[in-house]
Amino acid sequence: MKGKLIVFEGIDGVGKTTLSLTFKKELAKRGIPAIHYEKEAEDENGGYNKLKPFIKNNTPSSASLFFYLSSSIFKSGIINELLKSKWVICDRYIYSTLAYHKIRGANYQNFFKLNNLPIVWPDFYFLIKTNEKVRLARIERRKTSLKDDFKRKKRGSLVDRMEKELVRFHPHIINNNSDDIGKTVARIIHLVFRDV
Protein backbone atom coordinates (compact mmCIF):
# COMPACT_ATOMS: atom_id res chain seq x y z
CA MET A 1 0.00 0.00 0.00
CA LYS A 2 1.41 3.36 -1.02
CA GLY A 3 0.46 6.10 1.39
CA LYS A 4 -0.50 9.69 0.76
CA LEU A 5 1.30 12.80 1.93
CA ILE A 6 -1.06 15.30 3.56
CA VAL A 7 0.29 18.74 4.47
CA PHE A 8 -1.28 21.26 6.85
CA GLU A 9 0.06 24.81 6.56
CA GLY A 10 -0.92 28.10 8.11
CA ILE A 11 0.24 30.85 10.42
CA ASP A 12 0.65 30.21 14.15
CA GLY A 13 -2.55 29.59 16.09
CA VAL A 14 -4.87 28.54 13.27
CA GLY A 15 -5.12 24.95 14.53
CA LYS A 16 -2.77 23.02 12.23
CA THR A 17 -1.51 20.60 14.87
CA THR A 18 -4.93 19.95 16.41
CA LEU A 19 -6.48 19.33 12.99
CA SER A 20 -3.64 17.16 11.75
CA LEU A 21 -3.67 14.96 14.88
CA THR A 22 -7.47 14.64 14.71
CA PHE A 23 -7.21 13.80 11.01
CA LYS A 24 -4.74 11.02 11.90
CA LYS A 25 -7.27 9.57 14.37
CA GLU A 26 -9.93 9.61 11.64
CA LEU A 27 -7.60 7.69 9.33
CA ALA A 28 -7.03 5.11 12.10
CA LYS A 29 -10.82 4.63 12.38
CA ARG A 30 -10.78 3.79 8.67
CA GLY A 31 -7.96 1.30 9.17
CA ILE A 32 -5.41 3.50 7.40
CA PRO A 33 -1.97 3.50 9.03
CA ALA A 34 -0.58 7.01 9.36
CA ILE A 35 2.21 8.89 11.06
CA HIS A 36 2.31 12.51 12.16
CA TYR A 37 5.82 13.40 11.00
CA GLU A 38 6.59 16.21 13.46
CA LYS A 39 5.25 14.31 16.48
CA GLU A 40 6.51 10.81 15.64
CA ALA A 41 9.41 10.85 13.18
CA GLU A 42 11.16 14.21 13.21
CA ASP A 43 13.07 13.90 16.49
CA GLU A 44 14.58 10.53 15.67
CA ASN A 45 15.55 11.64 12.16
CA GLY A 46 16.07 15.38 12.58
CA GLY A 47 19.70 16.35 12.54
CA TYR A 48 18.77 19.74 11.09
CA ASN A 49 16.51 20.86 13.94
CA LYS A 50 19.33 21.58 16.36
CA LEU A 51 20.85 24.07 13.90
CA LYS A 52 17.66 25.92 12.97
CA PRO A 53 17.74 28.53 15.78
CA PHE A 54 21.33 29.46 14.92
CA ILE A 55 20.58 29.69 11.18
CA LYS A 56 17.42 31.73 11.77
CA ASN A 57 19.23 34.32 13.88
CA ASN A 58 22.65 34.51 12.23
CA THR A 59 22.43 34.19 8.45
CA PRO A 60 21.21 36.28 5.52
CA SER A 61 17.87 35.17 4.07
CA SER A 62 19.37 33.56 0.93
CA ALA A 63 21.78 31.39 2.99
CA SER A 64 18.98 30.53 5.40
CA LEU A 65 16.78 29.54 2.44
CA PHE A 66 19.32 27.02 1.19
CA PHE A 67 19.74 25.53 4.66
CA TYR A 68 15.98 25.12 5.05
CA LEU A 69 15.66 23.71 1.52
CA SER A 70 18.28 21.08 2.30
CA SER A 71 16.34 20.32 5.49
CA SER A 72 13.17 19.88 3.38
CA ILE A 73 14.98 17.57 0.96
CA PHE A 74 16.29 15.51 3.90
CA LYS A 75 12.78 15.36 5.41
CA SER A 76 11.36 14.37 2.02
CA GLY A 77 13.70 11.38 1.80
CA ILE A 78 12.41 10.09 5.13
CA ILE A 79 8.83 10.76 4.09
CA ASN A 80 9.36 8.85 0.85
CA GLU A 81 10.37 5.76 2.84
CA LEU A 82 7.45 6.13 5.25
CA LEU A 83 4.98 6.43 2.35
CA LYS A 84 5.79 2.86 1.32
CA SER A 85 3.66 1.57 4.20
CA LYS A 86 1.58 4.44 5.61
CA TRP A 87 0.15 7.88 5.13
CA VAL A 88 2.30 10.79 6.31
CA ILE A 89 0.81 13.92 7.83
CA CYS A 90 2.99 17.03 8.03
CA ASP A 91 2.37 20.08 10.16
CA ARG A 92 4.21 22.47 7.79
CA TYR A 93 6.36 21.46 4.86
CA ILE A 94 8.31 23.19 2.09
CA TYR A 95 5.60 25.79 1.48
CA SER A 96 6.32 27.49 4.83
CA THR A 97 10.03 27.55 4.03
CA LEU A 98 9.48 29.19 0.66
CA ALA A 99 6.85 31.66 1.89
CA TYR A 100 8.86 32.71 4.94
CA HIS A 101 12.01 33.33 2.93
CA LYS A 102 10.18 35.11 0.12
CA ILE A 103 8.69 37.66 2.52
CA ARG A 104 12.16 38.07 4.06
CA GLY A 105 13.60 39.02 0.68
CA ALA A 106 15.09 35.78 -0.68
CA ASN A 107 14.13 35.39 -4.34
CA TYR A 108 14.26 31.64 -4.86
CA GLN A 109 12.88 31.92 -8.41
CA ASN A 110 16.33 33.16 -9.48
CA PHE A 111 17.95 29.93 -8.29
CA PHE A 112 15.67 27.03 -9.20
CA LYS A 113 12.33 25.97 -10.58
CA LEU A 114 10.03 24.83 -7.82
CA ASN A 115 8.90 21.65 -9.57
CA ASN A 116 12.55 20.60 -10.07
CA LEU A 117 13.21 20.26 -6.35
CA PRO A 118 13.97 16.63 -5.43
CA ILE A 119 11.18 16.29 -2.90
CA VAL A 120 7.97 14.33 -2.51
CA TRP A 121 5.10 16.67 -3.32
CA PRO A 122 1.97 16.31 -1.22
CA ASP A 123 -1.17 14.61 -2.42
CA PHE A 124 -3.12 17.27 -0.51
CA TYR A 125 -2.00 20.66 0.73
CA PHE A 126 -4.37 22.37 3.15
CA LEU A 127 -3.96 25.99 4.19
CA ILE A 128 -5.71 26.45 7.51
CA LYS A 129 -7.12 29.92 8.15
CA THR A 130 -9.09 31.43 11.00
CA ASN A 131 -10.19 34.88 12.08
CA GLU A 132 -7.78 36.90 14.19
CA LYS A 133 -9.85 36.84 17.39
CA VAL A 134 -10.05 33.02 17.36
CA ARG A 135 -6.36 32.70 16.45
CA LEU A 136 -5.15 34.91 19.29
CA ALA A 137 -7.44 33.14 21.79
CA ARG A 138 -5.97 29.78 20.77
CA ILE A 139 -2.43 31.09 21.13
CA GLU A 140 -3.33 32.48 24.56
CA ARG A 141 -4.54 29.01 25.68
CA ARG A 142 -1.42 27.21 24.47
CA LYS A 143 1.22 26.59 27.09
CA THR A 144 4.02 26.50 24.50
CA SER A 145 3.35 29.82 22.77
CA LEU A 146 6.32 32.04 22.03
CA LYS A 147 6.36 35.83 21.99
CA ASP A 148 6.44 35.83 18.17
CA ASP A 149 3.20 33.79 18.08
CA PHE A 150 1.32 36.81 19.44
CA LYS A 151 2.17 39.03 16.47
CA ARG A 152 -1.10 40.41 15.18
CA LYS A 153 -2.23 39.78 11.64
CA LYS A 154 -2.74 43.30 10.36
CA ARG A 155 -2.76 44.24 6.70
CA GLY A 156 0.85 44.18 5.47
CA SER A 157 2.25 42.63 8.67
CA LEU A 158 4.71 39.75 8.52
CA VAL A 159 1.96 37.32 9.56
CA ASP A 160 -0.44 38.66 6.93
CA ARG A 161 2.20 38.50 4.18
CA MET A 162 3.12 34.94 5.20
CA GLU A 163 -0.48 33.76 4.88
CA LYS A 164 -0.87 35.50 1.51
CA GLU A 165 2.33 33.91 0.25
CA LEU A 166 1.11 30.44 1.31
CA VAL A 167 -2.01 30.98 -0.83
CA ARG A 168 0.20 31.33 -3.92
CA PHE A 169 0.97 27.59 -3.81
CA HIS A 170 -2.70 26.74 -4.58
CA PRO A 171 -3.84 24.96 -1.43
CA HIS A 172 -7.25 23.73 -0.40
CA ILE A 173 -8.22 26.54 1.98
CA ILE A 174 -9.92 25.38 5.16
CA ASN A 175 -11.68 27.88 7.43
CA ASN A 176 -11.11 26.78 11.03
CA ASN A 177 -13.12 29.43 12.91
CA SER A 178 -15.31 26.81 14.55
CA ASP A 179 -14.58 25.22 17.89
CA ASP A 180 -16.03 22.02 16.42
CA ILE A 181 -12.86 20.27 15.25
CA GLY A 182 -14.94 17.28 14.12
CA LYS A 183 -16.79 19.36 11.51
CA THR A 184 -13.58 20.87 10.19
CA VAL A 185 -11.88 17.47 9.96
CA ALA A 186 -14.99 16.06 8.26
CA ARG A 187 -14.54 18.67 5.49
CA ILE A 188 -10.90 17.62 5.10
CA ILE A 189 -11.85 13.91 5.03
CA HIS A 190 -14.45 14.69 2.36
CA LEU A 191 -11.85 16.41 0.17
CA VAL A 192 -9.29 13.63 0.59
CA PHE A 193 -11.69 10.76 -0.10
CA ARG A 194 -14.08 12.30 -2.63
CA ASP A 195 -12.26 10.77 -5.60
CA VAL A 196 -11.61 7.39 -3.98
Q: pTM above the 0.75 mark?
A: yes
| CATH code at 5-193 | 3.40.50.300
What's the distance, CA 35 to chain centroid?
14
Binding-site annotation: residue ranges: 10-17
Distances (CA, A) of 95 to 5, 12, 27: 14, 14, 24
> Is the CB of residue 129 less than 8 Å from the CB of residue 15?
no
Q: Quick one: average pLDDT of 13-29?
A: 93
Binding-site annotation: residue ranges for ATP: 10-17
Q: What confidence score (pLDDT) does residue 4 get?
A: 97
Q: What confidence score (pLDDT) does residue 149 get?
A: 47
Nearest to 184 by CA among 128, 123, 100: 128
Reported confidence tier of residue 192, pLDDT bands at 50, 70, 90: very high
Other CB atoms within 10 Å distance of the CB of residue 191: 13
Task: Give the tens place of pLDDT for each residue, 140-174.
Answer: 776 654 555 446 667 878 888 999 999 999 999 99
Non-local (6+) Cβ contacts of 57 within 8 A are none
Domain boundaries, the chain: 5-193
